[in-house]
Homo-oligomer: A and B are copies of this chain.
Amino acid sequence: MSKEAQVSAPRTRNRWGEGERLRGEILAAASRLLSELDGEDGLTIRGVARTAGIAPASIYQHFTDRAALVAGLTDHEFARLHTAMEAAEGRVDSGDVVGRVRAMLHASCRFAMDNPGHYRLMTANGPPRTAPGVRQAGPLVDVIDLLVAGFARCAAAGVALRVPAERAAVIAFVGAHGRVALFQNSAKHTDADSVMSFVDEFVSLVFA
């Protein structure tokens, strides 16, 4: 990886009405950059512009400032995680309700382990300000709700839970999250499978 990303072609402009497309390219470039230099440092306007092959000024047509960029990137990555979990769930036979929950958790772990920089970004920054008293919202809660729904389907299918579905979802997610965090801190990253089985242990723990 040299210092300069690439000088390449002076970039083919987007056509009319496709100005929004650059926004996606910027987010993709930021995502790529975050993979290489993990840690929120280095995620600079100029750096993103460099890896996207555009001028720094061009970013300001889509993001008002750097904070908006990282916020947009965070949303983007949460959306990726969300769809990855849904896709994983969809690949499991719909009769296997427990397997579907496990699949979602596995997908979540794999995402976190494959994208440590993104995961850190997603968990490091607090949620958007919400009015007090109202139901907590935000992308993280959406992810957990996915699990809540999964556990609720288990209960509905006759698989007994030791705790309410909401509680089970938090336990499983928290266990997976913590185990992955421990994984990130371990020098040997070869034991990815053990993370998965650890998560399975947590899941089987909430069933009666």
Residues of A that sit less than 8 Å from B by CB: 39-41, 120, 123-124, 126-127, 129-130, 132, 136, 140, 170-171, 173-179, 181-182, 184-188, 198, 205
Contacts and interface: CB of A to CB of B under 8 A. Distances in A.
A187 B39 CA distance: 23
A73 B118 CA distance: 24
10 contacts: A123-B181, A126-B184, A129-B187, A130-B187, A173-B178, A173-B182, A174-B175, A176-B178, A178-B179, A181-B181
A127 B182 contact: no
A182 to B, nearest CB: 6
Q: Give the most central of A39, A123, A176: most B CB within 10 Å.
A: A123
A182 B198 CA distance: 19
Nearest to A182: B174
Contacts of A186: 127, 136
B185 A174 contact: no
B120 A185 contact: no
A191 to B, nearest CB: 11
A176 to B, nearest CB: 7
Contact of A185 (B140, B170, B175): B140
Q: Give the most central of A39, A40, A120, A126: most B CB within 10 Å.
A: A126
A177 B177 CA distance: 8
Contacts of A140: 185
A186 B125 CA distance: 10
Contacts of A174: 175, 178-179, 181-182, 198
Contact of A41 (B41, B175, B182): B41
Contact of A182 (B39, B124, B170, B179): B170
A127 to B, nearest CB: 5
Contacts of A205: 205
A183 to B, nearest CB: 10
